[in-house]
Structure 1
Amino acid sequence: MPTDERVSHREAGRATGDLASARDDARAQGTSVSDWMAYLPASSSPYPPAGVDPAELTWAETVAPGGYTHRRVARGTRIRFEDLTGEACAHVVVLNALAPWERLNVADTQKIPWQAYLGTDHPLLSGDGRVLATVLGDTSGHHDAFCGTSTDAWNQQRYGDAAPQGPTPSGRARLTLAAAKHGLAPRDLPPSVSFFQGVRVAADGAFDWLGSAGPGTSVDLLAELPLIVLVANVPHPLDPRPDYVVGPLRVHAWRSRPTGPDDARFEASPERRRAYLNSLDYATAAGL
């Protein structure tokens, strides 16, 4: 970089040349806020879901376009994703927080309920036959359990760049960063499901792109076991638009209760009943 383009911290108005100055500079920024910061405590969120006591919130943030988030949540936690502008695309992976080698299995998630399209009451299953989470509410209906998320190679081809900290990061790169926060490696990441940008299978087997249902829609997940939740908010790989288009994703979570035998979805089919019984048996044995 040419000398005349270099700007020191002092020249920029931030003196950090010694320990005391660096400390003072850091503390001076302590009140700075960003639209993409998590609300701490979660009860301080200015956007609590209607009918939810803010004191019950355990997670609240807005994920930036192209950003990611992650959280470990307790069994019985209800997580709401909201598409504020109609442009969000939440690529989601869930793993058993007690044994993260048990993770989302997209094939079983489609097979056990005999339904490939995600919607209200759809269970998200692991390869061990247990329900990790349930889609408890859905006002969008535009989702995908076929395509997974974008990769670096895909984004290089589409946008010319896929650097995790660049303007067009891939979903795989974002989920890898989220997973690393929990000691997980890329090999621990299964294919994801995505919410808010829909795909349907045409008669000839090709994928039809549905796009969004519009702004203001939401999806609720119910954690049936303690979960690690990984989320990348990036464009769907089949989005036909040439530009990297994605909007903010709002997340709130609060204490609720897991699915039990008294819930209609527990007995919706013999296959679902067995999967919920497997989760209940695991939770009981673990003292949850």
Structure 2
Amino acid sequence: MHLTDSVHSARDDARAQGGQAGEWMPYLPASAGPHCPPGVDRAALVWAETVAPGGYTHKVVARGSRLRFDDPTGDACAHLLLFNALEPVERLNVADTQKIPWQAYLGVNHPLLSGDGRIMAVVSGDSSGRHDAFCGTTTDAWNARKYGDARPEGPSPSGRGLFVKAAAKHGLNRRDLPPSVSFFQGVRVQADGALTWQGSAGPGAHVELVAEMPLLVLVANVAHPLDPRPGYVVGPLRVHAWRGAATGPDEERFTATPELHRAYLNTVDYCEARGL
């Protein structure tokens, strides 16, 4: 029983809840999280969180940070938006992310580019191979039509609705939200142009990114818009980040192609001018 009939009772009741933990939560400090990625020093962690099915999260991370997304059940779908944390008008550009590397399918060493010709992040590790840079995320209208409900607090929230909530916490609104990419539920383009959902690679897959500039990261863990299953199927998503270094000129991907080399030079120029 909760006794809150006075200020002192309410205080005592609130303090009695201390130490309790939920299944879906950020861990503070991050080093206290129970799922530290293999080979990572716990002391270096700056973000450790399990995102609920139908949940969202957001974080500002420094240049050089490593981000890792894990799909423990095979049903997570990590819809991702990136913004320049210093100047959020610079944001993920999915068209350039497909065009500049001459490759529409996300995988290791694939850059996530902004519309300013800079590399915001790069995929540095991938055990899934099932991703999507075509469809974006779900909308309220889509989810209401398919599932009968799209409320952010309801049983089948849309990715767009959750992105709006996450963006608002950083002074952004729905007009600031570009198309997103997603990890762990694959899509392929057929010869006739049709988009085909591949599903996941199964439980235990992970994706790692390197932040090539200071980033505002928004994540919505919701069902993929092409998922043919009638129910709202999505599993938990684990998110970690730890300190590291941005890609340097001695690394192969820095000069892998003329286009990527130019994009990296643009990025380094921007960051070094700001003392990053």
How many residue pairs match? The answer is 276
Give TM-score scaled by structure 1 length.
Answer: 0.95
TM-aligned CA deviation for residue 180 of structure 1: 1.1
Offset at residue 25 of structure 1 (A):
1.3
Query: What stretches of structure 1 of length at least 5 have no aligned partner?
Result: 1-12
Q: 1:81: Cα distance to partner?
A: 0.1
2:93 counterpart residue number: 105
RMSD: 0.6
By how many angstroms is 1:211 displaced?
Answer: 0.4
Residue identity in the other structure for 2:261: R
Task: Confirm or deny that 1:266 pairs with 2:254.
Answer: yes
Match of 1:199 in 2: 187
Larger radius of gyration between Structure 1 and Structure 2: 1
Who is 1:60 aligned against? Answer: 48
Trace 1:266-285 onto structure 2 (pairs within 5 A).
266-285=254-273
Candidates 30, 49, 52, aligned match of 2:18: 30
> What is the rounded CA distance, in whole Å, between the counterparts of 2:185 and 2:254 in structure 1?
28
Q: Which amino acid aligns with 2:12?
A: D
Determine whether 1:170 maps to 2:155. no
Q: Which one-letter code corresponds to 1:62 in the other structure?
A: T
Matched, 1:129 2:89: no
The percentage of aligned residue pairs carrying the same residue is 70
User: Which deviates more, 126-135 or 177-186?
Assistant: 177-186
Letter in 2 for 1:30: G
Could you tell me which of 174, 177, 180 is aligned with 1:189?
177
Aligned partner of 1:143 in structure 2 is 131
State which drifts further: 148-157 or 22-31.
22-31
- Residue of structure 2 in register with 1:257 after alignment: 245
1:15 shift after superposition: 1.5
Could you tell me which residue of structure 1 aligns to residue 196 of structure 2? 208
Deviation at 1:164, TM superposition (A): 0.6
Runs of 4+ in 1 over 6 A off after TM superposition: none
- CA distance in 1 between counterparts of 2:5 and 2:139 reads 41
Give the alignment's TM-score, normalised by structure 2: 0.99
Partner amino acid, structure 2, of 1:199: V
Opposite residue 93 of structure 1, the aligned amino acid is: L
What is the DSSP-based 3-state SS (H/G/I as helix, E as strand, rest coil) of the residue aligned with 1:284? helix
Question: Hey, what's the Cα distance between the residues in 1 that align with 2:31 and 2:114?
Answer: 31
Residue deviations 1:132-180 (CA, integer Å, cap 9, x gap): 0001100000000000000000000000000010111000011111111
* Correspondence for 1:242 among 202, 225, 230: 230
Distance 1:20 1:164 in 2: 34
